[in-house]
Each structure stands twice: as structure tokens, then as C-alpha cells.
Chains A and B, each alone.
Chain A
Amino acid sequence: MNKPWFAVRKELSSRRRTFLAVMSFVFPLLVWSLVSYVPFIWHPQVEIIEPGEVDYFRTGMLVDRSIFEQELETLRAEGRELPTGTRTNPVYLPAPHEVARALYTAFSTEPQRRNENWLHESLANSIQVIFWGFFLSSLIGVPLGILAGTYVAVSRLTEPFVEFFRYLPAPAFGALAVAILGIHDAPKIAIIFIGTFFQQVLVVANTTRKLDPSLLEAAMTLGARNGGLLFKVVIPGIASDLYRDMRILLGWAWTYLIVAEMIGASSGITWFITQQARYKNFDNVFAAILIIGIIGLTTDLILAWLGRRLFPWQRAARA
């Protein structure tokens, strides 16, 4: 227990690791709570309780503190009825309990209209869009990336164009995607695909190139030729790095969801966010953002756990 907490590149005990992992969430939550509940930290606005004799104040209106105080001065000088109000944060930053309540209501409120989705159905729809976009991208992108990383000819033939295309903003293809693929999930899947695919090819090609060339040489002296090298050395050799790449790329795919769900018929969790933000229901917005964060983190933890089982030889190598 007397070991130092800060030692360059030294492992901590598992108790300390768990503690710090929990703290990494407690800390931001604490900051958020402080900013939300302790008035003198931020609270740059005043919520009007009684408008007094200020002509344009209304009960429940939010005004900047400076304006409120200025009006207070004026009215006091004139000896008229003063407005009252409490300090508050802008609507853009709801307090933790408001978000928690929104999170609960979001899942517990039955849809009011016949063809409206439950939140978890919207969520399932979004996850499906991500899944298919990512799956189709990987179906082509991973083999292409591996070939480009293995054969210079394939690399020369594909990578210059891919390098070019990856700078093109995927959302710009929204209208085209709708024209070709209709208005439902297909164009959204296409946007995720475009957003993922080109990065994927390059990342996979680079990972493939990082494979220790001496393993290829060793395999050749053991009798491996083209196909054997590819399937018995290159692919198993990069599998664990590839898996890690895919985890990172999956995260990127999520970032394209918000633009994907803006095109075509509106659906999904990020559309819910856009819509709620338009009407300034920021507790719902934050709740939905939290849900995405939780899904992302959970997926990643599951994939990491699965990865340790899939690639047992990696374990000691990392420790």
C-alpha cells in the first residue's frame, strides 16, 4: 500500500485500478453536480419568479444576470415594484437529476401515437443501421485492406483513390443516397458505409503492413507460398490488431449516425436528439446522449472481453 500512485509505466494493484476507473466517472459527475447545484459557481442566468414592474419580464423566463441586476437598479431608483428570481444555469445544461428523470421517463412512457416507436425501438433501429453499415463496409473493406497491405499492386491501384475519397464528407452524399436507395434505412446505412469504408481500407492496410516481415520470411523458408502466406501468416498474424482497429472504427461509425439519421425519413436515436434540441428539451437530449455513451462503452467492454478470449496469446504480450 506504500507503493507510489504515480510511477512512470508501473502497473497499479487491481484494487487501485478499479478505484481509479470508478473515479474517472465520479469526477465528471461531481463537476457536473457542483456546477448544477451550487449557485455561485456558474449560474449565469436568473429565472424570473415575479416579473415586478419590468414590462418584458415573464414568470419562468431566463435572463442574463447582468440584465436582471440592471433592471433591478433602475426600478429601485424609481421606487417601483422589484422583480424576483433565482439564479440558474442556461437551458443547455440540465442538472443531473433532470437528466436522470428524463432517462427514466424516456423508457417508461408509452408511445402516445399509434405508429410511434418506444425509445428502445428507436434505439434498436439505430443500432441496426450502424450494424449493417459497419458490416457491409467490413465485408469489402477488410479484405481489400488486407490485400492492399500485402500486395503493392493492390495498394497502388486502390489507395490513391481511397485517400482522396476519405476526405469527402460522407453527409454530402445524403441526397444521392436517398435518390438511389429510397428514404428508409438503406440510405442511412449507405452514409455509415461511406463514412467507415474508406478509413477502414487505409487502417487495415496499414495494420497489415505492420506485420513483422521476418514472420513472412520464416514462413517462406518453411514452404509457404502466396496463398499460404496470406491465409496462414498474414491474416492470423494481424487478426488481433485488426480486431482492435475494428473496435475503434466502430466508434467512428457511431459518429456518422447523427448525419445518417438526418437524411431520408426521420428515425432513430440521434433524430430524437436533434428534434428535442430544436424544442430546447435538453434534459431529453442529455439522456439520449448518455444512452449512446452507455451503449458505446458497453459494446467496447464486451468486445474487449471477447478479444481476450479470441486472442489468448496477446495477454502476456500486453501486460
Chain B
Amino acid sequence: MHKPLKQLFGALAGIAMLGMSAPALSEPLKIGYSDWPGWVAWEVAIENEWFEEEGVDVQFEWFDYVASMDAFAAGQLDAVAMTNGDALVTGATGARNVMIIINDYSNGNDMIIAQRGIDSVADLKGKTIGVEIGFVSHLLLLNALEKNGMSESDVELVNVPTNETPQVLASGNVDAIVAWQPSSGQALNLVPGSTAIYSSADEPGLIYDVLAVSPTSLSANREAWIKVARVWYRVVDYIQDPATRAEAVSIMASRVGIPPADYEAFIEGTKILTREEAMEFFNKGDGFSSLYGSSKIADDFNVANDVYTDPQPVDDYIDASITGAL
């Protein structure tokens, strides 16, 4: 009963030491993760106690996505699961980080969903679109417009929080929305006749989901992070092995509290990467088939949309050596 109180007073006393955010070596590595299939997959390792087997002391904390980045920015976490675009945003606003593991790329979970009668991106010209401006869904929309010879000025954007997009589409006030799972799936269910006219499957690598570590923790605990990466690829194998896949899905589904059968759909839209695939994306290059190229595009997008003002040194945000060391 006294734990929270002690925690509170202890934390109050600790304000003075805020500057020293580098955790002591004896502390477990604190990792924040949230509701995205590629990150929920960590649950498989937690449940099977693979970190203990690997001999690395980690503590996973389950968060709301935005709250997890806040906690990382506040120096409360050693690492956090985010998209590569958000890694840049978090870094630009003060919490520098290094992406060491690529969990997956979105392969259809992010969608542009249009009302009945709008069958292609080209049909969106002059239409009203609900999207959370400055987020990855916005980036997806720009990518789709660009591919069809249009730009943002050809459509009218309405800023809508992503989790409210299904209701907004259902209200009929917009012609299309951009959202990721589970909101995108809900929108399809909620609005009869609506279809996904474009999705992240059309541009693999637009959005990479990664594990981003604070530079301090990375240099202090390099060996431990390599062990974490090793556990991750054990998870990937477990999910991709037909013999254990059902078990993996059921662990993941229970994390978010829905039936395993329903969760399959979400995993479908996520391309979870093997080590070999990931190493491909760790190669420098332009365009979406490289984490560097994708992040550069995200950086340009963020600057263009005033998410932050100064372009970020993308190369400093990526460290392939951890995955490469396996």
C-alpha cells in the first residue's frame, strides 16, 4: 500500500537529479511499447521469458503510443517503439535516439479509405479528406497524391485525430479518411461500401516501425542491446514458423484484449522482417527501400509541415551495427 507514496516522495526527491538521466548499470533496460502488431510481438518474448534465458535484464512498459514517446522524451525510458518518422520528431524536440532494430514496415495497415463511389486516388481531386496532420497517415496521403500527379493543394484536408476517423467518415462530412489499424479496419466496417483505395502495401517502406534507443543507454549497454536484438529475431522466427504461429498470435491478441482470429487481420497488414530482410533496409540508399531514404523523406515532410524547423541528421539516427552484430 505504501509503494506509490514512497515512489512519489522518492521521485520528488529525485527531481534534483533529473539531469542525470543515464540509468545505472544495475537498473533493467526500460522499454516502452504500445499497440501496433510489430511491437505487440515483443509480448511473445516476455511471455516465454526469453530475456531471462538470454541473460538480459529488461523491463517492458505498456503505453498509449503518444504517452510512450512522452515518457521517452522525459528520460523515463531507455528505449521506445516508434515509427522512423516519429523517431525524428522525438529527436528534433530534444530526445535524441538511435534506431537499432527494424521490427516491420506497414504493409497495408495504413490506408486511405474512401466513400462508396470513389474508386481510386485520382478520384480524390477536389475532395475533402480527414487526416491527422503531421502524422504518418498524412505522409501516406501525400505519397499517394504525388504518385497520381497531384499535390496537397488538389484536395481539402480536415485535421482529425486518427482514432476518430471512422466516425468522421461515417458522418458523411468527408469523402475519405486516412488511418491505421485498428481505426482503418473499423472505418471499413462502419461505413458500408467504403473501400481502401490506397494503403501502405502500395508503398512498402513508407513507414518503418523500429526500436529507438537513447544514445546514452546504447553506449553504456551495447552488449545488452545486442542480446535484446537476438531475442527479437527469436520472436520473428516464432511468428513465422507455421508450427508456433497460432501460439504467437494468441499471446499478441491477449495483450490488446481481442480474440486471436480478429488479430490475424492486423498482423496481415504488417510485414514483420527477418534479420536478412532488415539488413537490406539498413543499407544506405534513396527511396523507400532503405531506412535512410525513408527517414530522409519523413524528415523533408516534417520540415515542410512545420513539425520541426531544422532538418535532422538522418544518418545519426540509424545504427545498423547492433542488428549486424548478430
Q: Does B43 contact A (CB under 8 A)?
A: yes
Q: Does B257 contact A (CB under 8 A)?
A: yes
User: Which of B1, B71, B254 is in CB contact (< 8 Å) with A264?
Assistant: B71
* Cα A262 to Cα B68 with chains together (Å): 10
> Are B258 and A62 in touch, CB under 8 angstroms?
no
> Are A61 and B62 in touch, CB under 8 angstroms?
no
Q: Does A113 contact B (CB under 8 A)?
A: yes
> Are B47 and A114 in touch, CB under 8 angstroms?
yes
> Are B192 and A180 in touch, CB under 8 angstroms?
no
Binds A, one of B7-15, B229-237, B267-275: B7-15
Q: Does B193 contact A (CB under 8 A)?
A: yes
User: Which of B12, B43, B77, B257 is in CB contact (< 8 Å) with A183?
Assistant: B77
* Cα A244 to Cα B8 with chains together (Å): 28
* Cα A81 to Cα B189 with chains together (Å): 22
Among A57, A61, A184, which residue has the most Cβ atoms of chain B within 10 A?
A184
Segment 268-303 of B: residues with Cβ below 8 Å from A: none
Q: Does A219 contact B (CB under 8 A)?
A: no
Measured CB to CB, the closest approach of chain B to A74, in angstroms, equals: 12
Contact with A along B42-68 (1 / 0, CB 8 A): 010011010000000000011110010
* Cα A190 to Cα B12 with chains together (Å): 11
* Cα A178 to Cα B77 with chains together (Å): 11
In the complex, how many residue pairs between chain A and chain B have their CB atoms under 8 Å apart? Answer: 118
User: Which of B49, B63, B116, B254 is in CB contact (< 8 Å) with A112?
Assistant: B254
User: Which of A112, A266, A281 is in CB contact (< 8 Å) with B62?
Assistant: A266
Q: Nearest chain-B residue to A190 (Cβ)?
A: B8
The 8 A-B residue pairs with the shortest CB-CB distance in the complex, in nearest-first order: A179-B74, A112-B254, A63-B192, A185-B4, A265-B61, A181-B11, A186-B8, A186-B7
A and B contact pairs by CB, cutoff 8 A, 8 listed: A57-B192, A67-B193, A113-B251, A136-B8, A183-B71, A185-B4, A264-B76, A265-B62
Give the interface of B toward A (CB within 8 A).
1, 3-5, 7-8, 11-12, 15, 18, 30, 32, 35, 43, 46-47, 49, 61-64, 67, 70-71, 73-77, 116, 163, 182, 186, 189-190, 192-193, 195, 250-251, 254-258, 262
Taking A186-B11, A189-B4 as known contacts, 17 extra A-B pairs with beta carbons closer than 8 A to each other, sorted by chain A number, are A56-B195, A63-B192, A113-B251, A113-B255, A129-B4, A175-B74, A178-B67, A178-B74, A179-B73, A179-B75, A179-B76, A185-B4, A189-B8, A263-B64, A280-B186, A281-B257, A281-B258
